[in-house]
Structure 1
């Protein structure tokens, strides 16, 4: 592979066991996100990881394995789809792949029904990396963002899954409306899709934290940097893609 997070434990899991956990997140996106978590650790940014829409734990395990010894991972899911056995499969995957129960917490609920204090109480501190992969409706996305931003570390990341997905075109409109209400936040990077399943992610952070991550992503993944960038109106965000290229005209 031409991409690695730099954390040997995470990279081994992504290379050898990632697809043994049922899910739709790609190795490419997981590697970049795990690198950001490692970058945060290198910068002394401490906090937890939280995910809305944990499913069987494919992406969750990768991020949790990259945390420090005193940090925890929180998985929020109704754990009732496609069947009631989902939560048991999730716990089995965690145990099988080296994530013991002292390192993570689950909340079996819809994120939109959670008071913000529940997240803070469960973790006892800020979240430095949020992954939002819940109900794919504009209303739910806005609610999930409102929940997540209240516990976000000042230098933390909000990562949204399935953005720019052809099956959920209204999500990007909901994101832009949310950004308009939160001018302190901006898009850091777009992690391009690989196929109809492994869809694009968008990473967001506070404007004053952009310099902590943007150039580092470009420098770390030069072979995957699409140099034109993502045009968000009054600024450009980094674009990382498996095959950075322009369309050809024949």
Structure 2
């Protein structure tokens, strides 16, 4: 197991003892980094709820929700019908076992593509969402709708995390992201968090361009040994890349000096 931590005691306790026992595909590496972002937000006085589309049995959701500050709430949205009707009871059991009390979260059995912004806002305890994880239906139209929903409720200094970007099984997802970034040029991919190595499916962390400074240098400093120094060109923005296997990788050429 890769030695990586969020720096938040409750999140790290869950990652160390229970994360891998909860069914799901999100990596511990990504959970620790996103947990660190949630902790960083609290330290910077950024207040808001946490939301997730595609909660399944709660693996990633619990890690995020354990980073809540007083008065904040976590909202997990899913149809909770796959692979069977037992997924919601299992999710609730995992939350209890993980130390997430029932008054700190809501499991909302709903289709995110069919809800209005007003319906979503009615489920929030805070006026805005500060961290929004999207891991819903992996199709262009669905991701586009989920991004619009997230955009409408985001804190100005909040972060949207997108799962399974660059995954070979879902090649059209990236086009939905690019189209979203073109619709909202104030938004940028601030960080790419790899799952296993530089060729595995990654998470994109998106925020407003004027909020990048809140996160970028902190992530580079905290997770320096995982920093892929070549970065990534995302529509003209030089994006930070964190990957568990390669670290400060040799990019393949010698210094001509």
TM, length-normalised to structure 2: 0.93
Contact 2:192/2:239 (8 A) holds in 1: yes
Return 5+ residue gaps in structure 1 as ranges: none
Contact 2:230/2:251 (8 A) holds in 1: no
Contact 2:165/2:173 (8 A) holds in 1: yes
Tell me the SS of whatever aligns to 1:161. strand
Contact 1:2/1:223 (8 A) holds in 2: no
Once the two structures are TM-superposed, the CA of residue 247 in structure 1 deviates from its matched residue by 6.2
Question: What does residue 196 of structure 2 align with?
Answer: 194
Question: What does residue 140 of structure 1 align with?
Answer: 142
User: Mean Cα displacement is larger for which, 186-195 or 145-154?
Assistant: 186-195
CA distance in 1, matches of 2:141, 2:30: 25
CA distance in 1, matches of 2:177, 2:210: 19
Question: What does residue 175 of structure 1 align with?
Answer: 177
CA distance in 2, matches of 1:178, 1:135: 17
The residue correspondences of 1:120-159 to structure 2 (distance < 5 A) are: 120-124=121-125, 125-159=127-161
What value does the CA root-mean-square deviation take over the aligned residues? Answer: 1.7
Question: What does residue 67 of structure 2 align with?
Answer: 66
Contact 2:26/2:195 (8 A) holds in 1: no
CA distance in 1, matches of 2:130, 2:138: 23
TM, length-normalised to structure 1: 0.96
Question: What does residue 229 of structure 2 align with?
Answer: 227
Tell me the SS of whatever aligns to 2:75. strand
Number of residue pairs aligned between Structure 1 and Structure 2: 249
1:206 aligns with 2:208: yes
Contact 2:189/2:205 (8 A) holds in 1: yes
Tell me the SS of whatever aligns to 1:236. strand
Once the two structures are TM-superposed, the CA of residue 233 in structure 1 deviates from its matched residue by 3.2
CA distance in 2, matches of 1:110, 1:92: 22
